[in-house]
Amino acid sequence: MAAMGKNFSDFVARQHSALAVHAPTAGSAFPAPEAARFAALQQQWLESQHKLWQAFAQHKPGDEGVQPVAKAEPGDRRFRSPEWSKPYFDYLRQAYLINSAFVRDCVEATPVADGRAKDRMRYLSKQVIEALSPANFAATNPEFVETALRTEGESIRRGMENLVRDLQQGHISMSAPGAFEVGRNLAVTEGSVVFENELIQLIQYAPLTDKVYAKPLLIVPPCINKYYLMDLQPENSLVRFLVEQGITVFLISWRNPDAALANFTWDDYLRLGPLTALDVVRDISGDAQPNTMGFCVGGTLLASALAVACGRGEKPAASVTLLTTLLDFSDAGEIGCLVDEGMVAMREQTIGRGGLLPGRELAQTFSSLRPNDLIWNYVVGNYLKGETPPAFDILHWNCDSTNLPGPFLAWYLRNLYLENSLRVPGKLDMLGVKADLGKVDMPAYLLATSEDHIVPWTGAYLVRKLLGGETTFVLGASGHVAGVINPASKDKRSHWIGGDASTAEEWRANASEQPGSWWKHYIKWLTAKSGKKVAPPSRAGNAQYTVIEPAPGRYVKGSATN
């Protein structure tokens, strides 16, 4: 070991000399400050690797308490097992952490004029860094070795079975197979489908209270996922919570597009989706201005539909609630960095005039935003250790992917993500109306979540500058899904409330933290805008819109065809 350490020391010394000769200078490809920064990063990397090798070479049995050269982030669960403390695996772990930090630092030091290009570099480097973790490979993961020995190879057999199963179903299992089924233990809040067309079914939920508020609520979930995220199990169903508070809830269930819908456009989704649903809700409830709620792209569709209706001179709703929704796409997070002219042009050429984006591809893109948590965690658990993931309703929903019509997707990518035109009054023509979000002048409740990797909360905050009515902005803890589905009965996490501010950062600095779920804050806001309490309807629908079938309906059970 001592001889190996000396040899490595000689190697490091030679590398230091080489760097001194070849280090970037003012005349190199980078300006002098960046060149010096790269030279410093290389020096730091070599010194860290040298220290690590010396610690490894000089390690003696029984040595404990030696400070590591590199530490994993506090939230990194990959290396928590005691098996990683054994000298060989500890060396692999720390070398990986040093290399990862070096790559990230080089990306940050690279001068790039375009901020989106820098974000793309961060995204791509993250994919490589996290894919190359020693935890992901059998030969370099001590937990694989320990589990295989302990189970006498049974874990390897189970892992191969899991791999074959996931290859057949087309996605990595994130929840125990067979644990959940829509209509059995998911989406079980009592209700009826009271309307359907080629794109949506409209569900009206049965009352659970002796009195209900006069004004109903229409929910527009995202069309890129199935609606039952809003109605998971009874204890964490947002729909059930609202109904239990006396709200009459109507909800859109989007059809999973197949070849028959492959030519549907953004305008088709507005016309057949929220605008039609609003008409039906008005007819059934007798209320000319229902309250409305949209989640993620469902919120973008809802806001667009309201802008069309307001542009026609209508007063379509009493209020609008937007959950983790972008209307100004200038701060669109990691997804935004993936959308450039070349990518959009390719989609326009391949499926922009007809065709489908497979749901599987869309799901993989979203998983790649959090590869450790949503990809490699399950590769290691399912295949290397032969484990079955625990039953988790949100992750079951996450794997229940849906397709998207190509014309809809191409329009959405170009006009919103790439050109950011929705924020500009009159720039976009939707259903023959020059849309102006400033005309959407009803009160608005805006929820963002602090760790959202799909809709950055600072991007969601920009909605306040676009809508014409009074806005209430609330920041929830956690991420895009867990931050929204935070049931009041469990009352976990926190949320922040505050007043008006010119920037998101200014708002955050002055906001006050409130313990527990944002649902409690929201229901007070919503019921204040829901009218007086009245007797609940005696039946779902009315003479024109009769019950078609019980909830959850056929559309939510449709599987992806590609």
Residues annotated as part of the active site: 296
Q: How far is CA 144 from CA 4, 132, 159, in A?
A: 28, 16, 10
Task: Give the closest residue to 435 by CA, choosing from 427, 443, 446.
Answer: 427
3-state secondary structure of 153: coil
Alpha-carbon distance 80 to 375, whole Å?
18
CA distances from 319 to 235, 294, 302, 440 (A): 27, 11, 11, 9
291-295 and 319-323 strand pairing = parallel
Q: Is the CA virtual torsion 283, 287, 288, 292 positive or negative?
A: negative
Estimate the crossing angle of helix 32-57 against helix 87-109, to 10 degrees: 180
Residues near 327 by beta carbon (within 8 Å), at least 6 away in sequence: 300, 303, 422, 423, 437, 462, 463, 466, 467
Rounded to whole angstroms, the Cα distance separating 493 from 450 reads: 11
What is the C-alpha to C-alpha distance for residues 449 and 475, in angstroms, rounded to an integer? Answer: 5
Our CA dihedral for 191, 195, 200, 201, rounded to 10 degrees, sits at 20
| Separation between Cα atoms, residue 295 and residue 481, nearest integer Å | 10
Please provide residue 319's backbone torsions phi and psi, each rounded to the nearest 5 degrees.
Answer: -160, 165
Q: DSSP letter for 251, please.
A: E
- Angle, alpha carbons 302-374-460 (nearest 5°): 30
Cα 357 from Cα 515, distance rounded (Å): 41
